[in-house]
Amino acid sequence: MAHQKKGKSTVTVYPDWCKGCGICAEFCPSKVFEIGEHGKATVVREKDCIHCGFCELHCPDFAIVVRDKSPVAEMEDTAPDKPGAKKGA
């Protein structure tokens, strides 16, 4: 889990559970979060996440989940032709 290469994880904040305390935004080593205009943590740099685990361990409200990307999602991310870019569709 810990310390993977960047871009291999998805980071999700459940806004209903987030109270905007700012712990994740302050301490994430990759600055993945910002506190948005509604006072909730927002994922702004998911690609920089190194899956260190800090935010999940320290969110007092269990509002963040970091998961390994599924192999399919990873392939889609690196594929030269993303489905949306198909010609003549």
Partner 1 sequence: MNGLTGNDVIHQYLRHNKKFPHVLCPGCGHGIVLGTLIRSIHALSIPKDDIVVVAGIGCSGRLAVYVDFNTVHTTHGRALTFATGIKMANPKLKVIALMGDGDALSIGGNHLIHAARRNIGVTALVLNNSIYGMTGGQSSPATPEGATTMTNPYGQLDKAFDTVELARGAGANYVARGTVFHVKKLEKIMIEALGRPGFSLVEAITPCHTQYGRKNKFKTPVDMYQWLKKSAIDVERYEELADDKREGRLPIGVFFRRDRNGYEERYYAMKEALTGKGAKGGRK
Residues 59 to 88 in contact with partner 1, rule: CB under 8 A: 59-67
Taking the least distance from each CB to ligand SF4, the nearer of 37 and 81 is 37
Q: Which does 57 bind (CB under 5 to 8 A by kind): ligand SF4, partner 1, none?
A: partner 1
Of 12-20, 42-50, 74-82, the segment contacting partner 1 by CB under 8 A is 12-20
Q: What is the C-alpha end-to-end distance of the chain, expressed in Å? A: 39
Cα dihedral sign for 27, 11, 54, 16? Answer: positive
As measured in angstroms, the least distance from the Cβ of 45 to partner 1 is 19
Is the Cβ–Cβ distance between 41 and 14 less than 8 Å?
A: no
Angle at 12 between CA 11 and CA 16, to 5 degrees: 155
Q: Which does 34 bind (CB under 5 to 8 A by kind): partner 1, ligand SF4, none?
A: none
How far lies 31's CA from each of 45, 81, 88, in Å?
A: 7, 29, 39
Instruction: Enumerate binding residues for partner 1 (CB under 8 A).
Output: 1, 16-23, 26-27, 53, 56-67
